[in-house]
Amino acid sequence: MELISDLKKLKCGKVIVSPKMKNYTTYKVGGSVLALVYPIDVDNLINLIKFLRKHNIKYKVLGNGSNVIFKNISYDLVIIKLDYFNDLTITGKKVVVGAGYSLIALSLKVAKENLTGLEFAAGIPGTIGGAVFMNAGAYKSDMGYIVKEVKVLTPDLEIMTLTNKQMDFHYRTSFLKNNPNYICLEATIYLNKGKKEAIMEVINDRKRRRIESQPLDYPNAGSVFRNPTDHFAGKLIEDLGYKGKKIGGAMVSTKHANFIINYNKASGEDIISLINDIKNKVKKEYGIELKIEQEIVE
């Protein structure tokens, strides 16, 4: 394809042609996209986006693929991964970290630096950019509590800094999620001083609890639904008798009903069908509209 050849000539980073998205998502599902590009820096990212816009090619920024569902189709889409945006600077309680840095790796790194406040993220398999985008959280905390400001690339391809207030963090959402044409480049996080031993004790205890309660031995993308007000999504689904419910190769986990697992070569369509079945059943039985945490890529 001539466009892909031209894309490679841009020399804005590594280009993988026609990759299968099942190799880049935690659900391990998804058909092919036109290309996957790893820009080396902001200038390369800007040049890449200008090129894609000029040729009317759709594009999407993807982190670790830990919260997305791709269908088993061929997408006219270029995926941008910011893995090279992984600089990290720790100065006292201030942490400045690139969008491509692993959230789990950061939580362990700051623990060794005797910094507390990121323990909740030690089991979330995303990148900083993805975590900021969706305001990832657990254990009654989330990114909104610790992120001071976010450096972004605007739709006009200008770099600007958004404050915590401007980021409009709420339960599993943010300004970026509502304005996806803005791209997270870097986050500034403020933590508190603690003791490494106590921090690691919390992290290890939660790891043990995750292993006991979550289906970590199968491909999944974490919690499927947000918890409705005054309810737990997993409890609602379990009370329907839906643990072990299957559609194709997708199954509601028998460990935790708010997890769907790829237990037998599922397609993205299998997972989406199971999600819709659950939503419809919960709506019918309880009158509650479950909201999906995960993103379905159309």
pLDDT at 40: 95
CATH (domain of 243): 3.90.78.10
Residue ending a domain, among 81, 109, 144, is 81
Query: Is residue 210 a part of any domain in this protein?
Result: no
Same domain flag for 57 and 103: no
Residue ending a domain, among 66, 81, 96, is 81
Same domain flag for 96 and 193: yes
pLDDT band at 210 (very low <50, low <70, confident <90, very high): confident
- CA pair distance 272, 249, nearest whole angstrom: 11
- Is the pLDDT at 209 greater than 80, yes or no? yes
pLDDT digits (tens, 9 = 90+) for 1-57: 677 888 888 888 999 999 999 999 999 999 999 999 999 999 999 999 999 999 999
pLDDT digits (tens, 9 = 90+) for 79-135: 999 999 999 999 999 999 999 999 999 999 999 999 999 999 999 989 999 999 999
How would DSSP label each residue in the chain?
-HHHHHHHHT-SEEEEES-BGGGSSTT----B-SEEEEESSHHHHHHHHHHHHHTT-EEEEESSSSSEEE-SS--SEEEEE-TT---EEEETTEEEEETTSBHHHHHHHHHHTTEES-GGGTT--SBHHHHHHHT-EETTEEGGGTEEEEEEE-TTS-EEEEEHHHHT-BTTB-HHHH-TTSEEEEEEEE-EE--HHHHHHHHHHHHHHHHHHS-TTS---S-SBPPPTTS-HHHHHHHTT-TT-EETTEEE-SS-TT-EEE-SS--HHHHHHHHHHHHHHHHHHH-----BSSEEE-
Same domain flag for 284 and 188: no
pLDDT digits (tens, 9 = 90+) for 122-147: 999 899 999 999 999 988 899 999 99
- CA pair distance 23, 27, nearest whole angstrom: 9
β 35-39/13-17 pair status: antiparallel
Nearest to 26 by CA among 261, 269, 292: 261
- Active centre residues (catalytic): 172, 223, 293
pLDDT at 183: 98
Same domain flag for 192 and 224: no
Query: Is residue 128 a part of any domain in this protein?
Result: yes
CATH (domain of 151): 3.30.465.10
Residue ending a domain, among 198, 232, 259, is 198
Query: Is residue 206 a part of any domain in this protein?
Result: no
State the average pLDDT for the chain.
96
Same domain flag for 175 and 252: no
| The pair of three-digit structure tokens given for residue 157, joined into one six-digit string | 């391809």
Domain of residue 188: give its range.
88-198
pLDDT digits (tens, 9 = 90+) for 224-277: 999 999 999 999 999 999 999 999 999 999 999 999 999 999 999 999 999 999
Decide if 12 contacts 249 (C-beta within 8 A): no
Q: How many structural domains is the chain composed of?
A: 3
pLDDT at 4: 80
Same domain flag for 42 and 101: no
Same domain flag for 179 and 108: yes
- CA pair distance 187, 296, nearest whole angstrom: 25
The burial class, CB within 10 Å (0-12 / 13-18 / 19+), for 228 is middle
Same domain flag for 95 and 76: no
Query: Is residue 71 a part of any domain in this protein?
Result: yes
How many beta carbons lie within 10 A of that of residue 63, not counting itself?
26
Same domain flag for 254 and 164: no
Same domain flag for 164 and 107: yes
Same domain flag for 135 and 55: no
Nearest to 9 by CA among 70, 67, 55, 72: 55
Same domain flag for 119 and 194: yes
CATH (domain of 8): 3.30.43.10
Query: Is residue 108 a part of any domain in this protein?
Result: yes
Decide if 122 contacts 106 (C-beta within 8 A): no
Decide if 192 contacts 198 (C-beta within 8 A): no
Query: Is residue 293 a part of any domain in this protein?
Result: yes
Which residue's structure tokens are 């999944």?
220
pLDDT at 219: 97
Query: Is residue 204 a part of any domain in this protein?
Result: no
**Mean pLDDT calculated for residue range 177-201:** 97
Query: Is residue 153 a part of any domain in this protein?
Result: yes
pLDDT at 1: 65
Which residue's structure tokens are 């028998």?
254
